[in-house]
Amino acid sequence: MEQKSNKTIVRECYRKIIRDLDLSLADTYIREDYIQHSPTVKDGRAGLLEMLDFLKTIPRPKEESPSPIIRVIADGDFVAVHLDIQFMRKRAAVIDLFRLENGQIAEHWDGSQLIPDDESGPVTMTNGTTVIDETADANESKMLVKDFYHELLENKSLMSADKYFHRDYTEHNPPNGLMDNADGMVKVHRIIAEGDFVVSQCEYKVQDSVFARYSIFRVADNKIAEHWSVEQEVPAVMAHPNGMF
């Protein structure tokens, strides 16, 4: 039997456990010692099941809604998922990051940001290119973003935007663009890439507050052509001792 890819495992977990709430499959997809970084969910498989049990008590929509999954980017043991979620009359952009181990989900990070109700025009927080160019060199895409962050961290600004940004660059998070909060950047924790898509997990500070920012980049002609992100403040108190990073 052909071994499932990590991307397939994550997609199946969303469909069978999170969407259909078939909690009997949790042992198949989630490690018992699952490490949780989402600030409001308790640690371990048991903590995740407790959260999913709560979701079962919430009335489900009568009509089946389209899949919230917009993009899935996989790199080795890591899989990132970009979602557009409607919940309790609110709409949010979410980026989940998973680490897999021996075919099971072993660790999870995430960030979410509400999509403004008055957002208008052709650019939103989740639209744009969705298909990964598998012919693109993932290592080259990753190195471009690494170099971009290195210069940003060293100089706190980019002296030449032309060096990194495509002439047709599209920002999907107005007004919270890629350069916002650059002066508060503290650390780049993780960067993964598949083809022409790159995902980063970063930490930055604004005054006394710490934020997690997850960004997705699309690379074209060795420059950043599109950017999506979500940012979430790190709370002082979490449901576990693992931190958000």
- C-alpha to C-alpha distance for 191 and 142, rounded to whole angstroms: 7
Record: fold of 6-114: Nuclear Transport Factor 2; Chain: A, (3.10.450)
CATH number of 138-233: 3.10.450.50
More confident residue, 156 or 214: 214
The residue ranges of every structural domain in the chain are: 6-114, 138-233
Phi–psi pair at 226, nearest 5 degrees: -145, 155
Residue 31 neighbours by CB distance under 10 Å: 18
What pLDDT digit, counting tens, does each position of 33-57 carry?
A: 999 999 999 999 999 999 999 988 8
Tell me the average pLDDT of the chain: 89
Q: What is the pLDDT of residues 90-114, one digit of tens each?
A: 889 999 999 999 999 999 999 999 9
Q: Check: CB of residue 212 under 8 Å from CB of residue 225.
A: no
The pLDDT of residue 68 is above 80 = yes
